[in-house]
Amino acid sequence: MTGMVRFLQTSDWQLGMTRHFLEGEAQARYTAARIDAIRAIGEVAGRERCDFVLVSGDVFDSNLVSARTVARSLEAMGGIPCPVYLLPGNHDPLDAASVYTSSIFRRDCPPNVVVLDAAGVHQVAAGVEILAAPWFAKPALSDLAADAVRAADPPGEGVTRILLAHGPVDVLSPDERSPALIRLADLEAAVDEGCLHHVALGDRHSRLSVGRTGRVHFSGTPEVTAFREEIPGDVLVVDVDRHGHEVHPHRVGTWTFTTMRRHVDTAEDLDDLDAEFSAIDPKDRTVVRTALIGTLTLADKARLDDLLERWEQSLAARLTWEGHDDVAVVVDRDELADLGVGGFVAHSVEDLAGQADDENGDPHARDALALLYRLAVR
């Protein structure tokens, strides 16, 4: 290897992560998928003949992950057919409780896995260097990437240098006062001066190239973690030397978090919604957040509730986006008459109908009528 290098960039594995909306076996499958992503990364690295894998921070979701998570993660990393360099990030910093110094990590760490536990230059092959900016505490009190660049001597003649750092970039972050912000202008100045040839960043969970040089990249998380992420589930294969630079994304993620924003006012709208749920594949690795707006009859509202309940059984999870979901119910006296209920139930229906029909149109009364209608029809 003489300066030109091909490597795989990834980040934000956050092994051991849980999601509050996943229950029981769905959470277990999601946890397993994050380990499976390591194996998928190994397959890409082998197929693309990568010289090494760089993980730009947050390998683990915290320093308090279970011993089982650590052991299974290391076993999967050991199957990657090239060296793997791990950068501690803000979720798993090198503090006194660091997972990287735990007995289970030291015992089970395979020989191809290297923790970049010192800031500065690490020579990984002839003519190739990693400039590491690990986290030692949370929060960071300075721009760790800039600190590493300033402290390092310029690379030697013919040497390719890759900066490995973790944190938000100033041009993307709303928190302008954070001392840990990575200043993009400083990175691009270092690229222009020939001190850096690729910048591999972690923290952002969506794949993104930032800046004008084309050499500063977030790979994103290999498995989706939140609905707001735009391009999760990828890794990057990078070819780079002092003069050339190419980046190619590869898909490894298998889960999807999606939001359905839909208007539902008619039976036809419900048909379309039902068909959209039916088309999801694979359902057991898809989480749907619904934001439904509209006005439905009692019969159609009952059908909507049945539809959502039915698809919840197939999906990994289905949840309502609170504050963005507003389906009103129109109370039709003819529909109420068709229920055929009597006794105290009939009196309750009449009372609820009166509350729903008054000038304020109590939404709770309408919801109660919709539920009663649904139960009565069943």
Question: For the domain that residue 236 is a member of, what is the CATH number?
Answer: 3.60.21.10
- Tell me, yes or no, whether 146 and 261 share the same domain: no
- Tell me, yes or no, whether 207 and 273 share the same domain: no
- Which pLDDT value is given to residue 11? 98
Task: Write the CB contacts of 125 (distance below 8 Å, at least 6 apart in sequence).
Answer: 1, 5, 51, 52
- Tell me, yes or no, whether 19 and 115 share the same domain: yes
- Which pLDDT value is given to residue 1? 44
Largest CA distance in the chain: 92
- Which pLDDT value is given to residue 19? 94
- Tell me, yes or no, whether 78 and 160 share the same domain: yes
Q: What percent of the chain has pLDDT over 90?
A: 79
Q: Which residue has the higher pLDDT, 334 or 126?
A: 126
At residue 242 the predicted structure's pLDDT band, cuts being 50, 70 and 90, is confident
Q: Which of 184, 217, 251 is the last residue of a domain?
A: 251
338, 298 in Cβ contact below 8 A? Answer: no
Q: Which residue has the higher pLDDT, 332 or 61?
A: 61
- Tell me, yes or no, whether 297 and 206 share the same domain: no
- Which pLDDT value is given to residue 342? 43
DSSP character string of 279-332: H-SSGGGEEEEEEEEEEEEHHHHHHHHHHHHHHHTTSSEEEE-TTT-EEEEE--
**Domain extent for 38:** 5-251
Say whether pLDDT at 3 is over 60.
no
Total domains in the chain come to: 2
Q: What is the mean pLDDT of the chain?
A: 91
- Which pLDDT value is given to residue 344? 46
- Tell me, yes or no, whether 315 and 200 share the same domain: no
- The mean pLDDT value for 233-248 works out to 94
- The mean pLDDT value for 271-291 works out to 98
- Tell me, yes or no, whether 246 and 260 share the same domain: no
At residue 63 the predicted structure's pLDDT band, cuts being 50, 70 and 90, is very high
- The mean pLDDT value for 63-92 works out to 98
